[in-house]
Amino acid sequence: MRFDYRIVFIITGLLFTLSTSLTVVNYFVSVENIRSQLKDSSLPLTVDNIYTVIQKQIIEPNLISSMMANDTFMKDWLSHEEGETDKIVRYLDTIQNKYKMSTTFLVSEKTLNYYTAKGLIEKIKSGNPNNAWYFDFKNIPEVNEINIDHNEFMGTSLFMFINHKIFDEDFHLLGVIGVGLKTSYIDDMLKRFRQDYKFNVYFVDDFGQLVISEKRENSPSYLDKMPDLKQLGLSFVSNGSQIYEHTKNNDMYLLNRKYIPELDLYLIVEAKIDDFTSKLEETFYFNIAVTLLLTLIITIIVLVYVRKMHRRLNDLANNDVLTGLPNRRTFNDKLEYFLLLTKRNKSPLSIVFLDVDNFKNINDSKGHDVGDKVLKELATLLNATVRSSDFVARWGGEEFIIMLVDTNVDNASLIAEKLRSVIESCESLQSLVDFPVTASFGITSIKSDDHIDDIFKRVDSALYQAKSEGKNRVINAT
């Protein structure tokens, strides 16, 4: 590979490396910024937003249930008017329709009657598995609970029941009242959180057991059964908000835990970091592709420019600017090559050295611009007269040199004489200076033991002799 191309590839390689490095650094900085923003701002803010929605969608029914449990009418009816079923039916129906609950219900501790907005449904029994929820709730100290269960009178749908105990003034249990929501409604809400905001939302109790979650395949029964989550050391002791990091299926997650006192549950909001950096990753690969394309375009442009400049520099280094002929340096390189070729093939090679006669007078009398025109016209004349296999160069000043390939000294003398005659009789040269332009010639033939310096010394001596003998003649060096 040529040096100038190596420089181009090194520069473009460095350019691509720099651009790519900046893109990579920017990508990782952006990922870290998103991660920090997610951890310090977005996730806590989203938890608060979700909590606000939960207050409306879940906590509101809890407050309604609590309100009914503390309603004076409810307590009086259970204590004195339970026989008037139509009153409690209208009450439950009004609450259900007003707040758009899936169901409202009441269980009397005295009669064990189970009421809904449709009337008296059944009398619950301790031996009935479907009624176990009431007796379990009755025997715990908490005054409310969330219970997810089926109801045999409401089809096969799974409901979330928010139960509240009703007490008289002496804190004796009068019954249990509450509201029910279809879990499909809750599931839609949690699904919307996942799809719209890319957050997985769970509600767990003090033991880490999932109480409310979106119905999805492979959903765990206990939060601590989720892969690698045990190592997280998730604490359900403190009631504040906590943020954790954990790995699941080789993906990084951020998890925010917030205690919801109204439900006595913990809101768990989980964010997969890749969900928030995927577009950034797409942008990263796009930027890399653009960088590569731009680098390729720049490389092509630079290569074209360098090649153009390289050709121009070669022309300036190897050719004479004025005449367009090869210069002395190029002629020497060419002569070295043909010397080796001549010695190998034992073929003849001759050199013709010529100098324009009285060129100083031309410059002095006609001006240097005319002198330049004479040299250019002479160069054109020489190229047109010699064979295409021969090599014409400008030696310097008004001196020219010709290498005659496969030409012995006798033939070289004939060619030189022809050139002398053509120059002398050239009308275009005469028109430039108003008198015939002549040249003196020295010629020599290459010998087997010749060195370049010996060749130039002989041909220069022959030219000097031609000048000293009256100019406008050909002298053959011995």
Q: Which residues are catalytic?
A: 398
Structure-block tokens of residue 171 = 């804190």
User: φ, ψ for residue 177 (rounded to 5)?
Assistant: -130, 160
Give SS3 for 336: helix
Cα 107 from Cα 174, distance rounded (Å): 9
Rg of the chain over all Cα atoms, to the nearest angstrom: 53
Q: Which residue has the tokens 């009418």?
A: 73
The phi, psi pair for 331, rounded to 5°, reads -65, -40
Strand locations in 66-118, DSSP E?
A: 103-108, 113-116
Q: How many Å apart are CA 371 and CA 379, to the nearest integer?
A: 12
Beta bridge partners of 144: 164
What is the Cα 260 distance to its own chain's centre? 43
Place of tokens 């490095």: 21
Residue type for position 196: D
Alpha-carbon torsion (278, 284, 287, 289), positive or negative:
negative
Q: Which two tokens stand for residue 52?
A: 């606000």
Q: How far is CA 175 from CA 100, 254, 303, 350, in A?
A: 23, 43, 90, 130
Strand partners, 476: 443
Residue 425's SS3 state is coil
Cα dihedral 179, 184, 186, 188 sign: negative
Question: Contact, 1 vs 244, CB < 8 A?
Answer: no
